[in-house]
Each structure stands twice: as C-alpha cells, then as structure tokens.
Amino acid sequence: MGDGVVKGQRPLPLHTKIFLGLVGGAVSGISANVFLGQRPEVEWIVRTVTEPIGQIFLRMLIMVVVPLVFASLALGVAGLGDVRKLGRIGLKTLLYFLLVTTLAVTIGLTLVNAIRPGEGLPEEVKVQLLETYRGQTTQTLEQAGQTRFGIQMLVNIVPRNPIAAAVQGDMLGIIFFALLFGIALTFLPPSRAEPVMAVLSGIGEAMVVLIDLAMRLAPFGVAALIFSVTARFGFDLLIKLGLYVFTVILGLALHQFGVYSILVRVFAGLSPWRFFSAIQTIMITAFSTSSSSATLPTTMRISEENLGIPREITGFVLPLGATMNMNGTALFEGVTVLFLAQVFGIELSLSAQLIVVLMSVLTAIGAAGVPGGSLPLLILVLQTVGVPGEGIAIILGVDRVLDMCRTALNVTGDVTAAAFLARSEGHVLMPLPSIAEPIAEIKRADA
C-alpha cells in the first residue's frame, strides 16, 4: 500500500454471506441425502433443527410484509400527488406485467413443444409417483376446489374489512385498500394529510430496521432452509423427471438472463451486468425462501439503495409485483400443463395451447406469493384443457426446487418493472459503468 499501513480485511458483503450459507446448506443436505438416505436421524435433524430455524427466519421477513406494504403503497400513491399521474403509472405497470408474463409463457410453451419431456417418462415411474404423492395431491385438489377464479375473484379484491384482510394475509385486499387510502390523502388539505403521512413514513422506517435485523440471520436461515430441502430431496426422482426439470429451468434461465437483460438495457438504460450485481441479495433471498412476499422487504430496500429507484415508485410497483407479476410462475404452469398432457397422451391443439397461455397469465396474477402457492391454480389450468388434475402428483416431488428457481425470476421481474417505470417517469437510475471506473477503484484500493 502507498502509505505502508496494513489495512484490516473488509467484512464480507451480505450477499456473499447468504451465498455461502446457501452453498453450505446445499452441500450438507446433499451429503446427508446421498450417504444417509431417509434414515430417521436425518428426518429428526430436519424436523427439530433446520426447519424451525428456517421458519423463524421466514416468519421474521413475512411479519413485516403487511405493515410495510400498506405504508409504502399508501405513501407511494400520496407522493405521486396527482390521481391522473397515478392512473398513468398504474396503466404502464399493468401493461408491463401482462406483456412480460405472456412472453414468459410463450418461451415455456416453445421449449416444451420442442423438447417434449413428457413423452419419455416410463409408465412404471408415472404410477409410482402418482401413488407416492397421492395424499399431498388430494390436499392440493381440495385447495383448488375452494379457489374461485373469475368474476368472484375480482369482487373479492375489495375487502369487506381491511383489518380482517390484514389478519388473513389477503394481499390483493390490502393493496386495494392501501391504494384508496393513498388516493384519499391526495384530496386532503396538506395540514391534514402531512401528519398521517409522517406516521406512515415512521412505520415504513421502523419496518426497514426490522428487516435489517432479520437479514443478519439470513445466512443461517438460508442454510437451514436449503438443508431441509436437499436432505429430503431424492436424486433418483430428479433423474426420473430430469428432462422436465431441465425444460423448466432452461426456460427460466432464458427469461432471467436473456429477456430481462434486454429489458433493463433498452427500457431502464442499465447495464445488465451491473443490474444483476446490484440485486444479488434479492435473487438469493428469493431463491432460498421460495416466497415473493417474504423477499419483498429486501427487494424494496435494495432497489432503492443499489439501483436508485425512488421510494414512491418502489412503494407502488414492488408490492403490486409481489402479488401480480409472476413471470416464473406463468412459465412453470405453461410447461407443466403441456408436460402432463404429453405424459397422459393428450395432444393439445394450437387453440388449446393459446388457452393455456391466457390461463397461465391470469392465474399467475392470483397465485399466492408463498412456497407452493401456485399449485391449486395450476390444477385449474389443467382441468380447463382436459388434463387430469391428479397428474400434479407426478411433479410434486421436484416442485420445491422449481419453486425456488421461479421465485427468483418472479422477484427479478418486479425489479425490472420498477426500473422501467422509474426511467419512464424521468428519474435517473444507477449510471452505466465507464471504462475508467475499474481503474479508479483499483487506485482507491491502493491509496
């Protein structure tokens, strides 16, 4: 060093710690599965140690979602000031969600038609999987039977009691009430609105402090969550469904690193490399928790701090995205429907596949942002095009792994939407890297 002073090592960044926890948990879980199999000791460790630790971490994140969404969305709407501006941003947001989600389903259907993973599944494997996951399938079918998709779902967006909606975790109801509450604040005189906005701002800031506390536990919580999944996950099942898993993950990867790279470069003016570097923590948290809702607090904080997206944009777009913008879920549903149709020897026509596209986009909007939240709605899509809903048992064993992957895509899509909206409204985001920047960084390190 130039001054001869020996500097101490810098602490590891949070995303590096979380990644190390992810790798450590995965290696430990895979080792336990390979060398110990389904022995009672492994199940005991999962049930009494790693699952409770992982659930505590998840609950700490989910705990702040309702107050954070309400405060952020109401403030975001009130901060826009003009209801006409809100309408313009809302329309652009919804159109972006619909177009990008439709593109995701199209990618999935193109791949599954080209690869045709369902045609090679042996009959004995199909029977074995249907028998193994019969109980879990019955429970999911019952949930699907209670799901009402259509006009009633639109009616249910308006909560009779916003407090009850908060208690039940009804995110669409909470979002609707928060939007109206924020609009109402714009009609009040400033002397009346400002104290309420100050309280909401205080709530939001307090939730950020709680998020920081929870994220300190993230490396341990992530390691515990991943260990629980990999220790129970049988590699024989992964091999049996390998072509299906490959098709889904290939589609997700193409959308994640292909489509999103183009979108952030063209519509947000950001370098894809810098963009993905800035949201590493978001993607790792989404992957490990399999929950858009649990990742939302982290998504909002990092989008503001690392990308420079204004709070009124993150407060409006990201809560909506965590509930409505499910690109990965829609892609997964499209692939799964055609895969199961191929398994059962059902040839879906072009018109039937167009119905799959439409239903996948619409049901992805209604999917819960929690692990496995898309499965009941997936059954509705299956039944709509004549594929037996019971066939979902064939993919249940690998769903958690695919859920982790598609949640990372869902959450990344929310951030791209917020970046697009911010730039379209004239905000300057994180600048593109210059050639001199890496050189300047090296000189600063040597100074």
Mean pLDDT over 388-397 rounds to: 77
Q: Return the closest-CA partner of residue 183 out of 95, 49, 81, 48.
A: 81
Q: Is the pLDDT of residue 438 over 50?
A: no
pLDDT number for residue 166: 82
> CATH number of the domain that 392 lies in?
1.10.3860.10
Q: Is residue 54 part of a domain?
A: yes
Rounded distance, CA 398 to CA 387, Å?
20
The answer to whether residue 443 sits within a structural domain is no
Number of domains in the chain: 1
* 65-80 and 83-115 helices, crossing angle to 10°: 130
Backbone angles phi, psi at 32, to 5 degrees: -65, -40
What mean pLDDT do residues 119-129 have?
Answer: 74
Query: Does residue 45 belong to any structural domain of this protein?
Result: yes
Q: Would you say residue 404 lies in a domain?
A: yes
The pTM for the full model equals: 0.75
* Length in residues, the chain: 447
For residue 437, pLDDT over 60 is answered with no
Query: Is 176 a domain residue?
Result: yes
Which residue pairs from 238-243 have beta carbons closer than 8 angstroms and sit at least 24 positions apart in sequence? Answer: 238/398, 238/401, 240/121, 240/125, 240/129, 241/121, 241/394, 241/395, 241/397, 241/398, 243/115, 243/117, 243/120
Task: Determine the pLDDT at residue 192.
Answer: 87
Which position has the higher pLDDT, 441 or 299?
Answer: 299
Cα 155 to Cα 176: distance, rounded to the nearest angstrom:
11
Of 21, 373, 32, give the one whose Cα is nearest residue 225.
21
- Residue 4, in any domain of the structure: no
Give pLDDT tens digits for 46-85. 888 888 888 888 788 778 878 887 887 788 777 766 666 7
Quick one: pLDDT at residue 140?
A: 56
At 250 the pLDDT is 95
Long-range contacts of 365-368 (CB under 8 A, 24+ apart): 365/97, 365/323, 365/324, 365/326, 366/147, 366/149, 366/153, 366/172, 367/326, 367/329, 368/171, 368/293
Q: Which residue from 83, 313, 84, 311 is spatially nearest to 186, judged by alpha carbons?
A: 83
Whether 321 is in a domain gets the answer: yes
Share the mean pLDDT of the chain: 79
Structure confidence at residue 82 (pLDDT): 64
163-173 pLDDT per residue, tens:
888 887 777 78
Residue 125 pLDDT greater than 60, yes or no? yes
| Residue 189 burial (CB count, 10 A) | 7
The answer as to whether 437 is a domain residue is no
- Domain of 386 in residue numbering reads as 14-430
